[in-house]
Structure 1
């Protein structure tokens, strides 16, 4: 079948990959929005209801990464560093929970944590290791996927924005902002935050809550970690940790002013260029126009303490994500599917979402 995919970024590229792998011809319309994401695939700290889906998505990422090495997929694991007694209590509870094996949680004493990740040089009481977590570099993964798909002869990418979709007796007619029109059997919309006007027009849905993440890119490090590193504030922001010790952590241990104001936890994600992507903030809309200097200073200070090194900034950006998940919408004819949001784990869950969408559309 002729499939048109509308949207960019990692999820849209993975949907294109899935459709081409199933034997269909794909045209992708992408308006060239910046490719976002830290590249951290945190399968081990999702909500309990999402564990099976996350594990399946990670298995699909491993298969995809094996076929397209340029996406930069690495099963890196992660270490969340506990530096206070309250953080240690959460780490101990997580490692002792009934689902710890499923999440691949292991509590490491400081010496074991540093042996596993020699770049981890700062003070710590323990490290919660998660073997289920992985990494890719979104800005590299999308071009690599597109180049691979182009080599199949059944994929074309066009720099255009879809303005209207009309169902016809034979399928769907897509009109683009460059004046062109495309005929397809199936149209799949992958709306991104702030670029969802067409999706809302089709579905009648209102805008979804959004958050803004500020990120930094460092220069190459002499001792770059291979694992994802996180500070103890991650326990406050990911749903996969036991509730009672997290509640005690929140009540007993105040965050720094910047971390509290911008909804922050520090995440250091290794990049293939030898540096790190640092994040993340979770500012709710409306966002101020300027990027917050205290947030950047907090990211650099905490990451520098974890690694016992001074970090240099080579790039800085902000990206907007949906704060919650939403269900996909399908036209009664079954020819148009508007994807819902996968929330903060959109990149991790992209292969599983693409598989489910292809099954739903009969691809």
Structure 2
């Protein structure tokens, strides 16, 4: 088949990956010179630990397996099976972690509760004071800003992959896609994976999507002078991720964290810098600027966990992703036209789940 993919983010790229893997021809269109949305503004985490039981965690676990294979085939994606530690600094947070261990899926997630000493043995950079840490062996990371070019270069070597950046799609019909250069690309199947870009053509094809947008703030520091051997989360992550039963966290969040719906996530980049975040903003219209108090809070919490000052922040940014309104929905997948697939709304799980999400599309589409 000849398959046209619209959208150069991780979800679109993984659909191209599966089409190439199954022997098809792919034309891949992206309106920017390079993907600039949520796919390159995230942590690069493959995050199994907090996903909801059922299709959510099943998708994450399958994607984790696929990422490991992709990382072996394409080392440039920077796959690292590092796991994660969620730091418990209060007795209530320890109780939530202990409750997670009693869930039936704790074993397949690779969960165990570590003492502070054992957590520090696993991740010596954690020099701060805390009571315990929930270890998730199945969590991992990829290098989000370099993964997509590495995947495209690998696919190009097949001779069946054509990357066309700087092309905004003007019209989609069964069997063809027309871009703003006036070129028409014939297709047996079309996949629209345009991320949080839900206006224009997408609105014309699907005017009432069950999707909302979410904006977040993140940052990257200068290199830490020692390895951060796992990803790190704080106890506020228990409030955010749906797997954890956080009703026991009766103590309110810090005011800034509550106002901006925050958790701390922290992962080390290949250059040694730390990506930290994040906030959650749901009300439209979003602000166009980033605000400083959340960064002050993230710096304070991260420094307390590390037991030392956080390296200086060298980059700050905001990102927007599309999220299904149904909290149990992993992805919105529909056919607005015969042979045309619209895939969107993975929420904060796009980098985590995209290999498995695209595999599911390939199965449904008969690739």
Q: TM-score range by the shorter chain?
A: over 0.9
Equivalent residue for 2:297? Answer: 298
Structure 1 unaligned blocks of 5 or more? none
Equivalent residue for 1:352? Answer: 356
Matches within 5 A, 1:82-161: 82-159=88-165, 160-161=167-168
Would you say 1:179 and 2:177 are equivalent positions?
A: no
Equivalent residue for 1:330? Answer: 335
Which of 199, 202, 222 in structure 2 is aligned with 1:199?
A: 202
Q: Which moved more, 1:49-58 or 1:211-220?
A: 49-58
Equivalent residue for 2:269? Answer: 271
CA spacing shift, 1:153–1:181, aligned 2, 3 Å: same
Instruction: State the 1:331 CA deviation.
Output: 4.4
Equivalent residue of 1:5, what SS? strand
Q: Deviations over 1:56-112 (max 9, x none)?
A: 111111111110010011111000000011111111221233332122110001100
CA distance in 1, matches of 2:96, 2:81: 24
Instruction: State the 1:288 CA deviation.
Output: 1.8
Instruction: State the 1:195 CA deviation.
Output: 4.4
Would you say 1:61 and 2:67 are equivalent positions?
A: yes
Q: Deviations over 1:150-189 (max 9, x none)?
A: 111111111111111122xxxx221112222211111110
On the 8 A contact 2:59/2:357 being kept in 1, the answer is no
CA distance in 2, matches of 1:196, 1:267: 31
CA RMSD of aligned residues (A): 1.5
Structure 2 unaligned blocks of 5 or more? none
Equivalent residue for 1:162? Answer: 169
Q: Deviations over 1:100-143 (max 9, x none)?
A: 21221100011000001101111100000000101011111001
Equivalent residue of 1:283, what SS? coil
On the 8 A contact 2:195/2:344 being kept in 1, the answer is no
CA distance in 2, matches of 1:53, 1:288: 33
Q: Which moved more, 1:32-41 or 1:152-161?
A: 32-41
Q: Deviations over 1:207-262 (max 9, x none)?
A: 72111111101111112312010110000000111x2xx1120xx21111211111
On the 8 A contact 1:220/1:274 being kept in 2, the answer is yes
Instruction: State the 1:298 CA deviation.
Output: 1.1
Q: Give TM-score scaled by structure 2 length.
A: 0.93
Instruction: State the 1:280 CA deviation.
Output: 1.1
Q: Give TM-score scaled by structure 1 length.
A: 0.94
Equivalent residue for 2:214? Answer: 211
Equivalent residue for 1:4? Answer: 4
Equivalent residue of 1:284, what SS? coil
CA distance in 2, matches of 1:351, 1:322: 17
Instruction: State the 1:289 CA deviation.
Output: 2.1
Instruction: State the 1:11 CA deviation.
Output: 1.3
